[in-house]
Amino acid sequence: MPPGATSWASEEEALKAIGAKLADAFTRDFFLKHVNPTSRRVALVVDGMTDDKLADLVERELVGLSAVIAVRPRINASPRTYDLEVAGAGPAADLVAGILAPINAKLGKRCLQTGAAAGDEVRVRFDASCNPADAITRLETLPPAGLYGAPPARQRAVIRSPETLLKLTV
């Protein structure tokens, strides 16, 4: 027998085992070659965000974005790090830039600025010119960040109050 070969009690068992191995190899190889991934894991490392309440509110906004499938903060990570599963494919920095845009719109300026990206890790800096107390107030009182990038028809379908709709344009 060749090295690594296995013997079976019957021809039927041998055909069944060989068929299972071929099917497994075909399925795995077929999907690796022909199916594009629908999500990507990205580590979002946020420098300069020292306020715990602000970090919790940013996490809440990340969870509410349609492009974000899952958010897992790394416990006791310094700087703050969120493991994200993000819908879509492409460079991690581009995916993160798309995620940060509605949050920055809600904050009223680019408080979260993308920095260097290496593989699946993207560094973001909380701009020192942004007041954490003001950011907390905006994150607590304004509509969800996910609505800032939504089409106007979707905004009107979700929000009934004209005053709240006006907040999306400010």
Alpha helices in the chain (DSSP H): 11-34, 52-64, 92-107, 132-141, 152-158, 162-169
- For residue 169, being part of any structural domain is answered with no
Q: What pLDDT, on a 0 to 100 scale, did the predictor assign at position 103?
A: 94
Rounded CA-CA distance 142/165 in Å is: 10
Whether 159 is in a domain gets the answer no
Angle at Cα 10 formed by Cα 4 and Cα 13, nearest 5°? 70
DSSP lists the bridge partners of residue 87 as: 39
Query: Is 32 within the bounds of a domain?
Result: no
Which CATH number covers residue 133?
A: 3.30.1360
Residue 50 inside a domain? The answer is yes
CA distances from 60 to 11, 72, 90, 101, 165 (A): 59, 11, 24, 15, 21
pLDDT score recorded for residue 88: 82
The domain total for the chain is: 1
Residue 48 DSSP code: S
Q: How far apart are CA 70 and CA 11, in angstroms?
A: 48
Residue with tokens 């795995």: 28
Q: Is 79 within a domain?
A: yes
Whether 83 maps to a domain, the answer reads yes
Q: How many residues does the chain have?
A: 170
CA dist., res. 80 & res. 74, Å (int):
7
Tens digit of pLDDT per residue, the chain (170 long)? 455 567 778 888 888 888 787 777 766 666 656 666 678 899 999 999 989 999 999 999 999 898 899 999 998 888 999 999 998 878 888 889 999 999 999 999 999 999 998 888 999 999 999 999 999 999 999 888 888 877 888 877 877 778 877 777 65
Residue 158 within a domain: no
Distance of CA 4 to the CA centre of its chain: 43
**Cα–Cα distance between 10 and 76 in angstroms, integer?**
57
